Amino acid sequence: MNILKYCLFASLLAFPVAAQESLHLGSVSYAITSGDGEDGELDTDVDTITFEGEYFISDKVSLKLGFLDHETQYDFHLDNELCQTDKLQLGATYHSMRVDVLAGIGTGYSVGVRTSDESTECKSDIPESDTSTPDETNEYLDFTYGRGLGNGLSFEAYLSTNVDDLFDDRTIGLGLNQTFGPNFGLSGFYVTTEAAEDDIGYTQDSKVFEVSASYYF
């Protein structure tokens, strides 16, 4: 985590703000995610609310800050367990090329690093079963491809993977973004997530739909 923080600080010093006039400087977004998952042999309902901001400190480098509230409901668990995970994420992304999302033109490629501070609490109908886990930090690599489709519409595909379980712990998303005028956009994504096996050989996976609204500036 410290290495990532030093890299983010160095990028601030190395790249002054100088974004192209035709491309947006940043954005703020609100997203709702909902779907189904599995934890070992248990079926789950998965819901997430995300607040995220992105700002370009140069034509090719952006910083991101995100807050996530993630809930996992174990549908068929005898004690009706609900686990809530709060995440604070900070990341930096290098864009070799960028899509003009406001116009829906161009092609984009990017790779980013992200650190996530996470804490989890689980509650159930049996108070004695309530648990909480110590805060943990995870680090990720993010790869994104985008392509403009015209008239403010663009396609995006991304792969995110945990650095400690490279490509075994991964999230893949495919979606469309439509902008309206110079500032607003709506997007929809289909996202699949698979976690690496735990100590007893179980994996966690989910398939969800995400809808988000963004303001560009």
Q: Which domains does the chain have, with CATH numbers?
A: 2-216 (2.40.128.100)
Q: How confident is the model at residue 3 (pLDDT cuts 50, 70, 90)?
A: very low
Average pLDDT of the residues in 1-24: 49
Token code pair at residue 122? 């689980």
Predicted TM-score of the model (pTM): 0.82
Amino acid at 24: H
Percent of the chain whose pLDDT exceeds 70: 82
Average pLDDT of the residues in 66-94: 87
What does 18-49 look like in DSSP terms, one character per residue?
---TTS--EEEEEEEEEEEEEETTEEEEEEEE
The residue whose two tokens read 């400690």 is 164
Q: What is the pLDDT of residue 208?
A: 96
**HSE on the CB side for 161, CA within 13 Å?**
12
